[in-house]
Amino acid sequence: MRIILGVSAGIAAYKACELLRLLTESGHQVRVVPTPDALRFVGEPTWAALSGQPVTVTPWENVHEVPHVRLGQEADLVFVAPATADLLARAAAGMSGDLLTAVLLTARCPVVFAPAMHTEMWEHAATQAAVATLRSRGAVVLDPAAGRLTGADSGPGRLPDPAELFRVANRLLARGAAGLAADLTGRQVVVSAGGTREELDPVRFLGNWSSGRQGYELAATAAARGAKVTLVAANTALADPAGARVLRVVSAAELREAMLDVSPGADAVVMAAAVADYRPAARAGTKLKKTGGAPEPIELAENPDILRELAGPARRAGQVIVGFAAETGDLLANGQAKLAAKGCDLLVVNQVGGGLAFGTSDNAAVILAADGGRTDVPRGPKEVLADFIWDAVAARLPG
């Protein structure tokens, strides 16, 4: 695939070198188009050496090739990382004072911006207006990560990890030919992931084997398709998906509180987290010790049914609710019963145990719909299942 990697003048430009390496090593032909001031951070020889392609910043070089038109026309993907406040403003205004902004005007392929700047600049009304304009035109503008910025500052504005940006690029390329790369643009979605833990004492808990990978793939895929994503993560050890706001929780009670807080404004809610059905009725204040005899029974209390609560009558009109059912018995019978009991619009039913689903990079499932629909998804990468799920969600979202 032919990719234009746009680089604007931010300190995070050095991270784009790693993104470039990942793209070229996966077989893509990458042409780096920096803004003139971006070369103050990373020089032209570095981009040329890593890409194996010439580096041009102005449309006045190699004019006979008409680069300001040809590069955008021929690209399969334009990916700008980092995208500064200045670059976003100029792109939204349709300015073309350098080669990169000219390419953005001529591109007819998926375009993604990965913003990076100080928090105050990201939150400024002018920047948010530019982001909204670009998203309304079908571009994917990822939300920046939160963390340490230049100097001692911390907050939203950090460029996401290059490996996560690489995953976004692959998702955009995979769906670009179908013209669906940004079909969730303007939508707000909430995804839960991971497995909850219910404390027995200060060192032990009741839990499950969920790694959170399927939920993270759902979040990453939704961001690549243009959605504004909130990911509620329970006890995961995965890198934050690019473009997703991540909230971390531990127990079912914390997960419920977070989901009820962020879900009311969402267009779609996907409950992919494995939630403990029960918790210890009382948590021991000190570590439980062996007594030499039979241990005392642990009294359990039932946790709230978060999915049923989210799918209840108080939910937002037109909101699509998706649940997950990890089963070890009759997949369809158990799934149909759970779909009816929970009240959700879609239920993703998958077999677990024996090396299936939990902790693996692939999955197989049946997507059951409250309207009687059924989609069988054969075993494959979890990002493929994520696309099937978002396809089903997108088809049910009000226009």
Q: What's the CATH code of the domain at 144?
A: 3.40.50.1950
- Give yes or no: residues 231 and 350 share one domain: yes
Q: Establish if 181 belongs to a structural domain.
A: no
Tokens 């839990």 belong to 207
Q: Quick one: pLDDT at residue 69? A: 81
Q: Tens digits of per-residue pLDDT, 102-130?
A: 999 999 999 999 999 999 999 999 999 99
- Give yes or no: residues 275 and 372 share one domain: yes
Q: Of 176, 202, 232, which residue is a domain's last?
A: 176
Q: Establish if 198 belongs to a structural domain.
A: yes
Q: Establish if 183 belongs to a structural domain.
A: no
Q: Of 144, 176, 208, which residue is a domain's last?
A: 176
- Give yes or no: residues 380 and 265 share one domain: yes
Q: Report the C-alpha gap between 260 and 315 in whole angstroms.
A: 10
**Residues lower than pLDDT 50 in the chain:** 179-180
Axis-axis angle for helices 99-106, 67-74 (nearest 10): 50
Q: Quick one: pLDDT at residue 149? A: 85
β-partners of residue 246 are 231
- Give yes or no: residues 319 and 199 share one domain: yes
Q: Quick one: pLDDT at residue 180? A: 45
Q: Report the C-alpha gap between 320 and 189 in whole angstroms.
A: 9
Per-position DSSP letters for 339-364, written without gaps between them? HHHH--SEEEEEE-BTTBSTT-SEEE
Q: Establish if 358 belongs to a structural domain.
A: yes
- Give yes or no: residues 159 and 208 share one domain: no
- Give yes or no: residues 245 and 347 share one domain: yes
Total count of domains within the chain: 2
Termini Cα distance of the chain: 32
Q: Of 176, 211, 243, which residue is a domain's last?
A: 176
Q: Domain range for residue 88?
A: 2-176
Q: What is the DSSP letter of 151?
A: T
Q: Report the C-alpha gap between 28 and 209 in whole angstroms.
A: 36
β-partners of residue 78 are 4, 111
Query: Among 44, 257, 10, 217, which Cα is nearest to 114's?
Result: 10
Tokens 């779909």 belong to 339
- Give yes or no: residues 237 and 306 share one domain: yes
pTM of the model: 0.86
Write phi, then psi, for 359 (nearest 5 degrees): 80, 0
- Give yes or no: residues 223 and 336 share one domain: yes
Q: Establish if 9 belongs to a structural domain.
A: yes
- Give yes or no: residues 95 and 196 share one domain: no
- Give yes or no: residues 316 and 269 share one domain: yes
Query: Among 185, 213, 183, 140, which Cα is nearest to 383's?
Result: 213
Q: Establish if 254 belongs to a structural domain.
A: yes
Q: Establish if 258 belongs to a structural domain.
A: yes
- Ranges of beta strands (E only) in 207-271 are 228-234, 244-249, 268-271
Q: What is the DSSP letter of 399?
A: -
Candidate list 62, 170, 208, 350, residue with the active-site label? 208
β-partners of residue 376 are 366
- Give yes or no: residues 349 and 249 share one domain: yes
What is the pairing mode between strands 29-34 and 2-7? parallel
Per DSSP, the three-state class of 117 is: coil
- Give yes or no: residues 151 and 216 share one domain: no
Question: Which distant-in-sequence residues (6+ apart) come within 8 Å of 99 by Cβ?
Answer: 33, 56, 57, 58, 59, 67, 68, 71
Q: Establish if 182 belongs to a structural domain.
A: no
235 is catalytic: no
Query: Among 201, 192, 199, which Cα is nearest to 258's?
Result: 192
Which CATH number belongs to the domain containing residue 345 in this structure?
3.40.50.10300
